């Protein structure tokens, strides 16, 4: 049976219980859904951020830790894969503040299967929902890369939206960390890097997936909705606003991104440790990825097609 493991890293998020309920209530085959959660909470203040009756969810494994022990989102996701993932056939990496559409599990499998690509990864920034919980009209979302961030020298990724939906998933160059779907073995072959922090997570993971031979696609249908609003009653405490170590973690992480993507080399052991495990792949080169994506990290240049949410499809076919 083709089980789906859902990886959730939650940080003091009141939306988590509804996200879990939505995953199971809206799955066509909830019996095939397993959910692993690292829940980073203040045990005195964050009761609403934890599952009230975990015994009601036998296929959910929720591990709760004190939020002061957290080292950020990438670290938390890496923890889930290392300790809770049991090599299910598929993985869905999802943010803790999402709602799923009816039969989401069947639909996401079907979209991937229709590609006939054994190394297909589906990812995008999911459509929004608001405080009214209404899941609004469908439109297509991929990625565009308009510019480099002046402070961090990393490419900025923005959603690229269109009312024209393709008939099947569209090949893209980036991932959105809040929604990634693929074969479980992909997350073993390209493990999440616990030494990264926040900024640059998606750019680096996309480059690592692609150089390991994986092809990234934006799904033609958004089977999830993401909470982007800022209701004071539901406002999430973010790790970078809540942790005294965040500045140091950010500095080390940015230096690691720059080294891995060829922007600026480092000889700092704290920056480059374990890159034999969390580095680029050998199926394709970083130079090939730059030509495919239209983003040159070292030269800090972006091709016009990348700014418009497109990729160099001819080049992708040539190096596939």
Supply 216's token pair: 């990234």
Q: Is residue 318 part of a domain?
A: no
Quick check: 61 and 8 in contact, CB under 8 A?
A: no
Mean pLDDT, residues 140-164 taken together: 89
In a domain, 36, yes or no: yes
Q: Alpha-carbon torsion 214, 220, 226, 230, what sign?
A: positive
Crossing angle between the packed helical segments 246-260 and 201-211, to the nearest 10 degrees = 30
Residue 235 in any domain: the answer is: no
Confidence band of 165 (pLDDT split at 50, 70, 90) = confident
Q: Which residues of 279-295 are buried (b: 16+ CB within 10 A; e: fewer)?
A: bbbeebebebbbbbbbb
Residue 105 near residue 32, CB atoms below 8 Å: yes
Tokens of 281: 């792949």
The predicted pLDDT at position 241 comes to 58
Range of the domain at 10: 4-226
Which 8-state DSSP code applies to residue 2? -
Question: What is the percentage of the chain residues whose pLDDT exceeds 70?
Answer: 92
CA 79 to chain centre: 14
Q: Is residue 271 in a domain?
A: no
Which H helix or E strand runs over 195? none
Could you list the beta-strand ranges (E) of the chain: 4-11, 33-41, 60-66, 90-94, 98-100, 120-123, 127-129, 140-144, 158-162, 170-172, 179-183, 215-218, 224-227, 295-296, 301-302
Q: What is the mean pLDDT of residues 90-112?
A: 98
Question: In 221-302, which ranges are continuous DSSP H helix?
Answer: 239-242, 246-260, 269-272, 275-278, 286-293
Q: What is the pLDDT of residue 242?
A: 61
Question: Across residues 162-183, what is the average pLDDT?
Answer: 94
- The answer to whether residue 54 is domain-embedded is yes
CB 37 within 8 A of CB 63: yes
φ and ψ of 129, to 5 deg:
-135, 160
Question: Residue 202: which CATH number?
Answer: 3.90.550.10
Q: Is the pLDDT of residue 320 over 90?
A: no
Q: Which two tokens stand for residue 298?
A: 């070292």
- Higher pLDDT: 132 or 75? It is 75
Instruction: Say what the pTM is.
Output: 0.94
Instruction: Count Cβ atoms within 10 A of the Cβ of residue 44 and give its class: 0-12 exposed, 13-18 middle, 19 or more buried.
Output: exposed
User: In this structure, is residue 311 part of a structural domain?
Assistant: no
CA gap 248, 197 in Å, rounded = 10
Which positions ≥6 away from 317 have C-beta within 8 Å? none
Q: Mean pLDDT across the stretch 136-158?
A: 87
**Mean residue pLDDT across the chain:** 92
pLDDT band at 286 (very low <50, low <70, confident <90, very high): very high
Looking at the domain assignment, is residue 190 inside a domain? yes
| Overall residue count recorded for the chain in this entry | 320
194-211 pLDDT per residue, tens: 999 978 899 999 999 999
Q: How many domains is the chain partitioned into structurally? A: 1
The pLDDT assigned to 245 comes to: 65
Sheet harboring 224-227: ordered strands across? 98-100, 224-227, 127-129
Segment 168-175 shows an average pLDDT of 96
**Total Cβ atoms within 10 A of residue 46:** 20
pLDDT tens for 212-253 read: 999 999 999 999 999 987 766 655 666 555 665 678 889 999
Residue 155 domain-assigned (yes or no): yes
Q: Is 228 helix (H, G, I), strand (E, B) or coil?
A: coil
Mean pLDDT of 49-53: 93
């Amino acid at each position: 049976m083709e089980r789906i493991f859902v990886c959730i890293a939650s940080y003091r998020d009141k939306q988590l219980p509804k996200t879990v309920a939505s995953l199971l209530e809206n799955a066509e085959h909830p019996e095939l859904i397993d959910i692993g959660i690292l829940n980073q909470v203040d045990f005195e203040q964050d009761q609403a951020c934890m599952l009230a009756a975990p015994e009601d969810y036998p296929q959910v494994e929720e591990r709760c830790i004190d939020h002061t022990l957290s080292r950020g989102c990438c670290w938390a996701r890496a923890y889930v894969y290392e300790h809770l993932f049991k090599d299910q056939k598929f993985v869905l990496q999802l943010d803790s503040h999402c709602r799923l559409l009816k039969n989401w599990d069947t639909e996401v499998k079907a979209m991937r299967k229709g590609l006939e690509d054994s190394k297909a990864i589906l990812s995008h920034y999911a459509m929004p929902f608001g405080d009214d919980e209404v899941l609004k009209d469908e439109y297509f979302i991929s990625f565009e890369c308009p510019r480099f961030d002046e402070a961090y020298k990393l490419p900025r990724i923005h959603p690229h939206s269109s009312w024209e939906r393709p008939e099947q998933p569209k090949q893209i160059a980036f991932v959105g960390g809040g929604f990634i779907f693929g074969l479980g073995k992909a997350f073993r072959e390209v493990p999440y890097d616990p030494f990264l922090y926040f900024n640059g997570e998606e750019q680096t993971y996309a480059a690592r997936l692609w150089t390991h031979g994986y092809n990234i696609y934006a799904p033609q249908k958004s089977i999830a909705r993401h909470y982007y609003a800022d209701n004071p009653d539901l406002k999430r405490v973010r790790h970078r606003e809540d942790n005294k170590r965040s500045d140091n973690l950010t500095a080390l992480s940015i230096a690691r991104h720059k080294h891995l993507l060829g922007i600026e080399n480092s000889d700092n052991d704290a920056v480059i440790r374990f890159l034999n495990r969390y580095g680029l792949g050998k199926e394709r080169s970083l130079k090939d990825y730059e030509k495919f994506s239209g983003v040159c990290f070292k030269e800090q240049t972006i091709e016009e097609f990348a700014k418009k949410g497109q990729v160099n499809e001819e080049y992708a076919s040539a190096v596939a």
